[in-house]
Amino acid sequence: MAGRQYDILVFGATGFTGRRIVQHLATEAGFKGTWAIAGRDRSRLEALAASLSGGTAPGIVVADVASPDSLLAMARSCAVCINTFIERMELLYDDAAKAAGVYVASAVGFDSVPGDLGYTLAQFKPPARCTQVECALTIQGGPNGFRGHYPTYQSAVFGFASAGELRKLRKEAEQKRGKPDLKVPGPKLPRQTGAAWDERFNAWTFPFMGADASVVRRTMARVDPPANVSIVFTLPSRMYMTLWQGFGAAFAFLAQREWGRNLLLKYPRMFSYGEWRTCKRCCMFTHEGPSEQQMAETTFAFTNIGRGYATGAPASPDQQPDMEIVTRVSGPEPGYIACSVFIVQAAITLLEEKGKLPALGVHTPASLLWGTGYVDRLRAHGIKFEVVDSAAVQ
């Protein structure tokens, strides 16, 4: 990467999330290297650059996904390119990345980072071993509720629509690399398939359908020793749970049909509870996205119940774990503020801690950044990692 014009480049910088990433990189990240913003509209890039204050002014690179040559030139101009990738990257480009001498981090944002860094596993000091981690994601809105931006909603629509393709992709990956056998000792975690009240979290829970679960499973196939992990989302009452289930069922049904997707995309407020809004804990999606006040009032927390064995393994296969440690990863509004911190600090870590990185290729956050100072960097920018006495989230 020596001789590259820029250390870090942000592609898609003028979008809603892109602007938050640029703002963090320019004013809050403590980055002193060279950097650039990229997109297809030079005038919008110039306006964004002019709006920034403090730090080193970014370079401007014009690149368009419709022009492969411009993307190649952009990639050749920087050491680290911040963009958006996910699961297909590992299957299609892992070998190519190794051959090209590069790293691809396919999920370094919210919600994958706080669920995947292995902080809970690290609290079990040898000979103790963590064999189970139950994660619960809680998002707290303030008096004005919390809101999502339309592109996030749009991604969810097409994500539900392509669920069948994702299953095929995972089968293809298993055929190529084999289904991982984690060989975790002791009983497996029971699988939760629907809503349930969990006294430990003091909340209603249901299986989380975001990127975390898939990312964490891929991480556990790489780390040693691995653990069995489950991830749920929490809501504080049966009323909220009923609302989420009702709107979720309608959303999933419509997303599987072309006419339904057209309805979902045309009326995001209606299908994200915006037209009947009385619930401050329910997220409404709009083209405008969240206000600065809404983002300032919103927080997230991943509460993790880690269980394992003081001696590293059970005396018999059905022996229940004899150790429990509860941890929590928490921070500011997750989708845009915390996400920007996760992404930018990962990019800086790649630049400044090259000697601590694993083998080349496509990685999950934990498999790429394990053993670096990434967690300390996140702590310095408002993300809290702590061991707590209780798993209660409300």
Determine the pLDDT at residue 213.
Answer: 72
The string of DSSP codes covering 305-360 is: EEEEETTSS-SSTTPPP-EEEEEEEEEE-IIIIIHHHHHHHHHHHHHH-GGG--SS
**Is the model more confident about 274 or about 14?**
14
Average pLDDT value for residue range 252-276 = 83
- What pLDDT digit, counting tens, does each position of 161-196 carry? 776 666 676 677 667 766 666 789 999 998 888 899
Q: Which pTM value belongs to this model?
A: 0.87
The span from the CA of 197 to the CA of 351, in Å, is 44
Pick from 86, 358, 371: which is nearest to 214 by CA? Answer: 86
Maximum CA extent, the chain? 67
Q: How confident is the model at residue 273 (pLDDT cuts 50, 70, 90)?
A: low
Q: 119-140: string of b/e by CB count within 10 Å (b at 16+)?
A: bbbebbeeeebbbbbbbbbbbb
Write the class of the CATH domain 6-83.
alpha beta
Residues constituting the chain: 394
| pLDDT number for residue 151 | 78
Strand order in the sheet with 6-11: 59-62, 35-39, 6-11, 78-82
Lowest-confidence region among 87-91, 302-306, 326-330, 337-341: 87-91
The single-letter DSSP state of residue 230 is E
Would you kindly state where each structural domain of the chain is located, as residue ranges?
A: 6-83, 112-335+382-388
Half-sphere exposure of residue 367: CA atoms within 13 angstroms, side-chain side: 23
Confidence of residue 93 (pLDDT cuts 50, 70, 90): confident
The whole-chain average pLDDT of the chain stands at 87
Taking the C-alpha atoms of residue 158 and residue 164, their distance in angstroms, rounded to an integer, is 11
- Helix and strand numbers (H, E) in the chain are 16, 15
3-state class (DSSP) for residue 57: coil
